[in-house]
Structure 1
Amino acid sequence: MTAVQLPPAPPGRLPRRVPVRQVLCLVPLLLVTVAAVRNRSVLAEGFGQLRTASWPWLLAACGATCLTWVAAAVTRQGAVVQPLPKRRLLATQFAAGAANHLLPTGLGAGAVNLRFMTVCGVPLARSSAALALYMLAECVGRLALLAALLIAFPGALSPGGLLPGGAAAWLLLGAAGLLVGAVAALALVRRLRTAVSSFLRAALGEARAVHTRPARALALWGGSLAFPALQAAGLVAVGRAMDLPVPPAHIALAYLAATAAVALVPTPGGLGSVEAALIVALVAAGGPAAVATAVVLAYRIITVWLPLLPGALTLGALVRWKVI
């Protein structure tokens, strides 16, 4: 009996036996495992701190963390005119949070949401414009809250703030250098200048369309203010749970200042950099170093590590169901 040979797969296409989508579903779980192994000492110490804390306040911190996903979903909807399916949008924000902690800052959540909007039928140009508008609104909301608290509590942080004078000067010089480099690149590279100009036109058009609808504008800016406020409220709740001797408003100010200071650090989810900045900020606000360290470790356990595995499972499920 002669064996029947199957024709070879066409060039440029994977053989059918490779389950690409199933493999992609497992990638988030693999990344979670790697991140947990690399940070096992931090996880052990953080869970140890949680055992001695006041549970009602920890539950309040968990509630504030859950509400951040709702605020993110509201802001995402406010950034695009086309209505998005509400349940899938909320699930996508939960999954995007996990992706954001596994990839360099902002790239994971941005990629997940960009894919979600395109699957929902939003053209790629408008999806990119909506993503840029969301990032701008989130940045403005965070800085607006920070400025309001700095005006209301000018002495909340000790002199010198999060950075010594020399480091702050170097940071300003670095930011100025990046700005000059970007302007020079746009001036010298015609193709890049054309692409950026086209994107800016699309982004401005999407922003105008959003702001002609009061409900969308309210969702965009209300959500962008609620998101960092809820994050800060979570840290305040953990501080109360562990008896941190710092006023709640000062803790919120320390959180906003720390996250603004590390916004340009390209680490996955700010792992490492956010912890260090938060500890320095809480100490600058008047907290003892040991208690501030315990508060930050417990806070990061609640906001990063506890949702990471279910978020990765949700991300894999959304990929499998072709939601993203």
Structure 2
Amino acid sequence: MSSPFNPYAEQHKDPKGPEDGRPTAFQVLEDNKLLQAWPDKVVLITGATSGIGIETTRAMYATGARVFILVRDITKAQPIVADIIKSTKGNGSIEIIEMDLDSLDSVKKAAQQFLQKSSKLHVLINNAGVMACPRTITIDGFERQFAVNYLAHFTLTTLLLPTMLSSSSPTFNSRVIWVSSSGHRHATGKPDLDDLGILDHYEPWAAYGQSKTAMIWASNYIDRTYGPRGVHSNAVHPGGILTNLSQYMTKEAIDAFTEDEEAMRQMKSVPQGAATQVWAASAPVWEGQGGKYLEDLKVAEPWLGAVSKIGDGYAAHAYDAVNEEKLWELSLELAKIENP
């Protein structure tokens, strides 16, 4: 049954694969009367040059907002931005700032560059990520999935929280969206606070799961701590989408997945994959609300061990107030930054 926090229940009852009747990001905007409705808003997005990041940027541009994208490669970003502006009706703007999530110094520099350009930030979408990469250590000495998916976004968010607090208003509380994954349900997806990169026994999917749980924990912590002050946060599982996020998967693994008929029925197109994060970032139903894990344009329910590889709920460890606080404090030390 449809509800304000599950408005597209009917469309998700019988998925038939990409481009079926499940909503796209633009349908979410249209249904919520948000096209060209945000001329006074500032939005920042990471990972905006591929996959659902491009579609999320396109949707945020269509709201009329001033959009910033943080990207590793400005040269790659420029034609993407030009295409969005040319092909999408809107009178907002898109500005590009260079940022390499593999380097915390680069993240800190990008945050400062943004703050030099804008004194406001209403929506932050932590969209960028890597998945199941080989064991790699970043320049800062961290396992790459933990560093890119979580710690870099934690650093960026924490540095921008004061601006988000000051940008919040009684009619629109600022929002942070963390693009997590059903991969947080991996058997070892609960972060080991004594071995956050699981470097002693590295396994790509376990490391991915830990990084995605860490994102959920950070989201929960922000909503609990800063929600009463006007900044709310939600974590989102976008669904299964065939993008270059799967670049580290073997051909055999991809073939096995694509031969799974049930899994392929659950898969989404890129516009559909961007829908849940755009809903969380913009829909009025989320005004003054947060602290949830979302999937398929709804508040997810507990995972019951169903066979679905792609969705159907959150693992029990996704909500853990004690460890959320411990991880937050530890992350401040690792990133060498102070609490806002």
TM score, norm. by length of structure 1: 0.25
Q: Is the strand fraction higher in 1 or 2?
A: 2
**Whose radius of gyration is greater, 1 or 2?**
1
Q: Is the helix fraction higher in 1 or 2?
A: 1
TM score, norm. by length of structure 2: 0.24
